[in-house]
Structure 1
């Protein structure tokens, strides 16, 4: 089906879930939607639940089509992808439910955006559908929420600024989560359980995910910088003079985020530079207890992969499912509104320049903030097509829509800035 024949610009699949509803609410109030620039549909398993969600969205959404689609019914997903320019999905865990939709979008040349923080799922998507998506012209864009847009876009923006200043390649680059508050996501925890389950059953997958370049399209051309550890504690001054006195520990999403960033560099022809390195940290303050906290946080993070998989394998699965929050659940509106995050990414270039990119949002990172990022990603893919990269296949936010998405974020309430420090 040609672009002009597609009747829907954005289909939100999983619209009845917790983050799905938040994303639907965001889209229903967006000027690009209220002005009629984009045609939106809601998709999911239950027509009645979809109708109930639509009824809550007000007049703007009253005419939105409802599409019945189910991960267990490939024909329904094929129909969804054939009718739609961009499919935005919140249905996870993605390793469990996501590949049939990726397959449908790759087959029909439909663009796709999700919220996955599961590198095992991205790896399966790459292995199964990257070439087909290139052939059909589909952009399969993973990790379009708090995982991993702040990581991916701050690095991309540093590259763009250094490029404009003729300041050379990026060298050591570090994202530091300066502040963050929000509730635990049932969907994120379910994804973590699925990933540990898969790793416990497949030692080869566990070894693959330990490779910092596991998502790179060609591992043989990547540099060898050693382990590039995702879990370590550091003095802030070793990252940037502006962090003197601070201590940092491992950020819990460093493993998937860092692999997405490295994939972006590879897909962009290693534009960041041949000696580019990347890591992520969580700021733990300046108190006398900060060094101990940094060591403990990093130690727990390290043990979670090296020992956690084997420990998880011994636990009764019903007990795990009973204790964890359920997918589709989330925090109260008060918690969602009071949440926030600020990340700062520092880099030094081969010409000796130093830069800092800052990205910040008000709203729970895993819920309100993520729904904004996902909604803007869908709108970017649907409406800003002339500003997107020429790349097709299984992509990352930066490699697919870096400039276009970065341009959208300030109007969406996201503080996004890059400054030269030296």
Structure 2
């Protein structure tokens, strides 16, 4: 059963905020695996939310079929700054699971930045992520708070997958472009949560704010890529090698990877840790020296062209109706209709979650000899294909990724930057996060290398 909060300012290794939400309860279930007697660095856990009863119910669900463990429940409301400050003061690492993050996430991140607590969230919302960086980086750096967004399926599989592909290009070879092809698979219907749909609608509604924010900030450093971006191609394409019909996906993954490459352009050896071991210094420098910048994009793929219809239909309606108030009201009132069942307010069933999986194919095109890239008329002559695979994206992979990021923070904090707002790749790239994910149900594979005609 849920335990009463003990008196005194006990600091917990991890606090899960938004614990009663649809994703939050899956994060609780994943975190419970690593509490004692497990030998992980997670020794103490607390849950936070507005309703004690709902959080307690989520804990019981997560612990089933066994009894719920004694886990303290803290009151926290995104509209109550004092409650957020109190919770942040009692967290080493706060896992922020309450979306849409545009509405609820900044207040949580701000409380952590002020308290010096580390904060990981599962946002896939570029405007939120970039605004948090603009508003909170300095105070987070000053107070020793690491704030890292996109620590779920958005965008760690894509980021680590891109970095994994990049590391396969051994000198003198180098990539020009890498395209990630997302393929979601299931024996049943693929269904997303309403919060994801709501975030996409709000993203369209506030696209102008993101552009204004970017114009107001200094331009990020431009990575040195050996050639221009490849042509955009057709709206719908068929990749024979992968057996997929694909369409370009407006994705946070693209934004996050570009931000990581910009930061590493400024800091070619990565960011030093607050008190690094000499072994990790060598590891960090070696890791970033092996990363080669490239143009990056994401496409969604299905085995049949009819499989793309739901994605095109959903994107069309969000793009058209998301730009004005009445349209947004219709979208949010009838998400299942406007997504052809891709999203529904009740979320997926447990059977739908357990039957789903994903594959992320990374197809890199580049040069077998970087020195030839500058020659006039030289085309890419080498292809590198890698793949990241794992279970269902929203409620199995996302909790796995988020909890493993927290365990890295708990066990290796001295090797990581003192504080600031960064992308996952910048913080976790040189760590053992990829190995941890491979030990918890994900795979990273080199599929093929070939010479292009």
Q: TM (normalized to structure 1)?
A: 0.81
Match of 1:143 among 137, 150, 166: 150
SS at match of 2:99: coil
Q: Residue 315 in 1 paired to residue 327 in 2?
A: yes
Deviations 1:185-212 (A, max 9, x none): 111012122223334xxxx426459x8x
Q: Which residue of 1 aligns with 2:400?
A: 372
1:26 shift after superposition: 1.1
Q: Which residue of 2 aligns with 1:413?
A: 441
SS at match of 1:219: coil
Distance in 2, matches of 1:263 and 1:216, equals: 13
1:102 shift after superposition: 0.8
Match of 1:153 among 134, 156, 160: 160
The alpha-carbon distance between structure 1 residues 300 and 324, as it changes in their structure 2 partners (threshold 3 A), is closer
1:331 shift after superposition: 1.4
The alpha-carbon distance between structure 1 residues 109 and 229, as it changes in their structure 2 partners (threshold 3 A), is farther
Q: Which residue of 2 aligns with 1:267?
A: 263
1:60 shift after superposition: 8.9
SS at match of 2:398: helix
Aligned pairs for 1:253-264 (under 5 A) are 254-264=250-260
Q: Residue 109 in 1 paired to residue 95 in 2?
A: no
More deviation in 166-175 or 258-267?
A: 166-175
Aligned pairs for 1:181-192 (under 5 A) are 181=186, 182-192=190-200
Deviations 1:338-374 (A, max 9, x none): 0111111122344455433211112x32222222222
1:132 shift after superposition: 1.7
1:408 shift after superposition: 0.5
SS at match of 2:78: coil
More deviation in 298-307 or 412-421?
A: 298-307
Match of 1:122 among 129, 133, 138: 129
Q: Which residue of 1 aligns with 2:6?
A: none
Aligned pairs for 1:156-235 (under 5 A) are 156-162=163-169, 165-181=170-186, 182-199=190-207, 204-205=208-209, 207=211, 218-219=219-220, 221=222, 232-235=235-238
The alpha-carbon distance between structure 1 residues 360 and 268, as it changes in their structure 2 partners (threshold 3 A), is same
Is the 1:45–1:69 Cα contact (8 Å) retained in structure 2?
A: yes
Is the 1:34–1:60 Cα contact (8 Å) retained in structure 2?
A: no
Is the 1:183–1:366 Cα contact (8 Å) retained in structure 2?
A: no
Match of 1:281 among 271, 277, 299: 299
Aligned pairs for 1:352-363 (under 5 A) are 352=369, 354-362=383-391
More deviation in 377-386 or 91-100?
A: 377-386
Q: Which residue of 2 aligns with 1:384?
A: 412
Number of residue pairs matched by the alignment: 392
CA-based RMSD of the aligned residues comes to 3.4
Distance in 1, matches of 2:88 and 2:404, equals: 19
The alpha-carbon distance between structure 1 residues 215 and 125, as it changes in their structure 2 partners (threshold 3 A), is farther
Q: TM (normalized to structure 2)?
A: 0.76
1:235 shift after superposition: 4.1
Match of 2:349 among 332, 338, 342: 332
Distance in 2, matches of 1:391 and 1:354, equals: 38
Is the 2:191–2:344 Cα contact (8 Å) retained in structure 1?
A: no
More deviation in 90-99 or 223-232?
A: 223-232
Between Structure 1 and Structure 2, whose CA radius of gyration is higher?
A: 2
SS at match of 2:192: coil
SS at match of 1:91: coil
Is the 2:220–2:262 Cα contact (8 Å) retained in structure 1?
A: no
More helix by share: 1
Q: Which residue of 1 aligns with 2:425?
A: 398
